[in-house]
């Protein structure tokens, strides 16, 4: 049985940790801001092959950078598990009279909220580069895509955090995985420009469908070879699988 009080307490703890870590908030915005400023302004007046006519590069890039922010932030949520294990907090909550499912849900809720805040902050910064969202119903669907991306990669972070005990090793391994996922997703360039074999790999990447869904919902009139509903269904499937696996491995993990 799920203890919603435990879920709320763990979510609140993550919110307090996040709000007090000003350097974490600022640091999470620096890399996306550099991508937006240098790539967006540098290539905005160029004709990028494979990009839809009528869409400038800033419009094309912003959903990709929002997706990148969600990918990096949510994958690194597993680091908090290792941190809690290092300082004994994980052992304390594991022996508490609540189910591990409640603990997992609390961590997922906290991680999703902080990840969404970072994604929305990056989206807000993009307005200074004249990116605009003009259709509110579509934007609500974009928020749903952002949540699904966060769920998917929080699950990935939990899987690795549950099997590892070294924080430095976790950072190395997770970066080794998320950078290929980022570059294969088409966040920075149209997938049409990639060789066939690389394009096939791109369609095995869940982030590809998340970013394509973000583009179709954030950019009015943007068309893709993958319908938006299919992107949503595929992302929902990925998120459920990854959350299930993350919860399963977390339940089997050791607290010390």
Whether pTM exceeds 0.85: yes
**Structural domain contains residue 221:** yes
Predicted local confidence at residue 254, as pLDDT = 60
**Structural domain contains residue 159:** yes
DSSP for the chain, please give it. Answer: ---HHHHHHHHHHHHHHHHH-HHHHHHHHHHHHHIIIIIIHHHTTS--TTPPTT--HHHHHHHHHHHHHHHHHHHTTHHHHHHHHHTTHHHHHHTSSS-HHHHHHHHHHHHHHHHHHHHHHHHHHHGGGT-----HHHHHHHHHHHHHHHHHHHHHHHHHHHH---HHHHHHHHHHHHHHHHHHTTSSS-GGGS-HHHHHHHTT-HHHHHHHHHHHHHSTT---SS-HHHHHHHHHHHHHHHHHHHHHHHHHS---
* pLDDT higher at 227 or 170: 227
**Structural domain contains residue 157:** yes
Q: What is the pLDDT of residues 128-159, one digit of tens each?
A: 888 888 778 888 999 999 999 999 998 888 88
Q: Is pLDDT above 80 for 95?
A: no
Q: Is pLDDT above 60 for 184?
A: yes
* pLDDT higher at 226 or 51: 226
Domain count, the chain: 1
**Structural domain contains residue 208:** yes
**Structural domain contains residue 48:** no
Q: What is the pLDDT of residues 102-125, one digit of tens each?
A: 778 888 888 899 999 999 999 988
Which domain range does residue 247 map to?
4-43+53-252
Q: What is the pLDDT of residues 54-83, one digit of tens each?
A: 778 888 889 999 999 999 988 888 777 777
- pLDDT > 70 fraction of the chain, expressed in percent and rounded: 92
């Amino acid at each position: 049985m799920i203890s919603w009080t435990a879920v709320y307490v763990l979510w609140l703890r993550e919110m307090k940790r996040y709000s007090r870590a000003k350097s974490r908030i600022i640091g999470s915005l620096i890399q996306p801001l550099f991508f937006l400023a240098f790539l967006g302004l540098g290539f905005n007046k160029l004709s990028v092959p494979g990009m839809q006519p009528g869409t400038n590069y800033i419009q094309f890039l912003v959903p990709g950078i929002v997706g990148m922010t969600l990918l990096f932030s949510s994958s690194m949520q597993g680091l908090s598990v290792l941190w809690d294990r290092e300082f004994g907090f994980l052992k304390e909550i594991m022996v508490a009279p609540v189910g591990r499912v409640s603990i997992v849900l609390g961590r997922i809720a906290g991680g999703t909220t902080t990840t969404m805040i970072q994604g929305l902050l990056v989206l807000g910064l993009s307005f200074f580069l004249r990116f605009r969202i003009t259709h509110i119903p579509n934007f609500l669907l974009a928020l749903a895509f952002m949540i699904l991306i966060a769920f998917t990669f929080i699950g990935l972070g939990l899987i690795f955090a549950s099997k590892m005990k070294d924080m430095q090793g976790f950072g190395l391994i997770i970066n080794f995985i998320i950078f290929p996922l980022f570059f294969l997703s088409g966040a920075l360039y149209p997938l049409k420009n990639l060789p066939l074999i690389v394009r096939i790999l791109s369609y095995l990447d869940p982030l590809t469908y998340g970013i394509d869904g973000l583009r179709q919902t954030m950019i009015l009139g943007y068309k893709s070879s993958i319908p938006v509903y299919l992107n949503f269904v595929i992302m929902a499937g990925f998120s459920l699988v990854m959350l299930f696996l993350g919860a399963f491995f977390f339940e089997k993990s050791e607290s010390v």
